[in-house]
Chain A
Amino acid sequence: MAPNQNMNTKFRAALRNELPLWIREGLVSEETASNLSTTYQLGNLKEESSRLLSAVIFTIGGLLLGGGVISFVAANWDDISTPVKLTILFSALLGFHAVGYWLWRSTSWRRLGHALIFCGCLVFGANIGLVAQIFNIRGDWYGAFGAWAIGSLAVAWAIRSWIIGVLVLFTSFLWFIGFQDDHHQRAALLYPFAIAVALIPLAWIIRSRVLYAGTWLGIVIAASVIAGNHGSANQALLAMAAGGLLMWMLGQLHRAAAWRKEFSNVAAGLGLSTLAATAYIWSFHELWTNPKLRLMQSLLPLLFLALSIAATLLLFRKERQTQSWLIIGVLAAGLLLAGASLVNREIPFTIVTNLAAMILAAVLIGISLIDEQRAFFWLGSLYLVLLILSRFLEYETSLLIKSAAFLGCGVAVILAGVSYEKYLRRKIPSVADNKDKEPVYE
């Protein structure tokens, strides 16, 4: 496969539908059509769509089976002796895993096997709770989630499973929330590193976008939970801003350096969304708090910032020129937001956060200009309007001024939309009407 080849399912499905017409109209020869079909693996499309459906059906079926076993045991719990209870719990666990593995190794029932092994991991979690109950063990509630995460991680790696990886992410995150809240703030600092080591290589190997983006999001949220401890809210702002910036830069790096290009859109999109949400939330002046920065809680955000700057430098060596100002824009917005966490006066803080938000709106519109995508233009415009209207509703102004602001924003958005459409028509006449143009950012 060529490095820039678009293997998006939507695009390939459209291509498959168009090819017969192209052949009839003499636009392409039979041979070229056949080459296109081979290059874009159009023959696999049907199988790919049924694969997702069967995976969903098998997983739901497996979940119901697992639920049935657990409910059966629970219904007769009081009448069953301890050895019988334990036999049932272990048999259910080993049964799901053994049958699941046997099917997973076969070529035709691989997805059913995968779903059964996933259910085995859910049964494993339920068993931890039931075993604790049988032996009257009431430890800290989060301990069970920690044990569940470790046991599931082993299976996720053994069969290279993205969905069990996601289960590990959820259960370990619940463990982390309980653990850090229980007087373990220092030790909890290791959690983001632990999930990075445990899950990112797995996501990389199996090329799972969901697991890759989910793990990064988990790392950034965990860092902001750690940073926000002891009521130092502006450290949480620092962590979210630095984390969002890092995710966006990583996404760009994936694309520019062609390292696992499929991770590019999801990482960049998640990073930009994190930055935009952070900027919007903190643009309200009431959210300013006197900066209280503690080194321990700032360690992760500072590491994120250092990595983002390293990624930016790498990007500038690889990037084409049109993208440079986007990179500068996102970097500026990220650094402004991170810097806002140090501002010890309310008004300058609010100005800085609003400025960062406006830069992000400009970046969104900028992406729409570079990549000729309407969705980003509208996202950027709506974000800007939301920002302006929020300010008008936030501050006490007369109704007349508010009405003028609403009207002004409405007219401005319509005019901007018209100019954008004109811009698209002028730049590439065919693009303006081409609704199926494949987006670079999804």
Chain B
Amino acid sequence: MSERASFIAFVAAIVVQVLILVGVPARKAITLATGKSAVLKVQPVDPYSILSGYYVTLSFEISQVRTFPDAPEFSDGESCYAVIERGEDGIWKPVSLEHELPENLPENRAAVLGRVNYGRIEYGIEQFFIPETKRDAVADDLRANRDNARVEIRIDGGGHAALERLRIEDRVYE
């Protein structure tokens, strides 16, 4: 390989690495910048498994397939769309579970893309990174105020959700 060709090949390889690093958060950044805002109530958390490494583990009402009354059958690993609706208290509630992305939803509804896994649905917003110095404070706060924790999320047109912030009573963790 000539020196020039070798240089071009190496630069192309580094561009691939940089594109991957940019690509990792790209969807999340786009969703956060352009998505529709929604607030979900955090379900009471198991006080013994709040922390998993550097992450706080969260669960929501829409995390269980059985929450949706007339949900069709889903096999493990299958994608699903949870339709949620804004309630009068500002918290979004589950409406239905669909196989396909619903179209023309009204302004007060949104569809969130998830994946069914043994009766649970994962949306990629279940874990929230907490800096080491704040970990214990957040875990204690969650344990003490289990019923007053909310997450603010953003949902893009394709149903992809991104976690924006965690709010426990009037305290905000970003």
Residues of A within 8 A of B (CB): 77-78, 89-90, 93-94, 97, 101, 105, 121, 124, 127-128, 131-139, 147, 150-152, 154-155, 157-159, 182-184
Contacts and interface: CB of A to CB of B under 8 A. Distances in A.
Contacts of A105: 3, 6-7
A97 B17 CA distance: 11
B33 interface: no
Nearest to B14: A97
A14 to B, nearest CB: 36
B132 A78 contact: yes
Contacts, number: 89
Given A124-B20, A147-B20, A157-B9, 15 more contacts: A97-B17, A101-B7, A101-B10, A128-B24, A135-B28, A135-B29, A136-B163, A139-B124, A147-B24, A151-B20, A152-B17, A154-B12, A158-B9, A159-B10, A159-B13
Interface string B149-173: 0000000000000110000000000
- Judged by DSSP, the binding face of B is helix
29 contacts: A90-B18, A90-B21, A94-B14, A97-B14, A101-B7, A105-B3, A128-B20, A128-B21, A132-B25, A133-B54, A133-B129, A135-B24, A136-B28, A136-B129, A137-B28, A138-B127, A139-B124, A150-B16, A150-B20, A151-B16, A152-B17, A155-B13, A155-B17, A157-B13, A158-B9, A158-B12, A158-B13, A159-B13, A183-B77
Contact of B10 (A90, A158, A182, A183): A158
Contacts of A150: 16, 20
A138 B124 contact: yes
Contact of B13 (A77, A78, A154, A183): A154
A154 B124 CA distance: 29
Interface in B94-151: 124, 126-129, 131-134
Interface of B: 3, 6-7, 9-10, 12-14, 16-18, 20-21, 23-25, 28-29, 54-55, 76-77, 124, 126-129, 131-134, 162-163
Contacts of A127: 21
A134 B16 contact: no
A314 B7 CA distance: 41
A124 B24 contact: no
B126 A138 contact: yes
Contacts of A147: 20, 23-24
Nearest to A148: B20
A132 B124 CA distance: 12
A155 B17 CA distance: 9
A271 B81 CA distance: 48
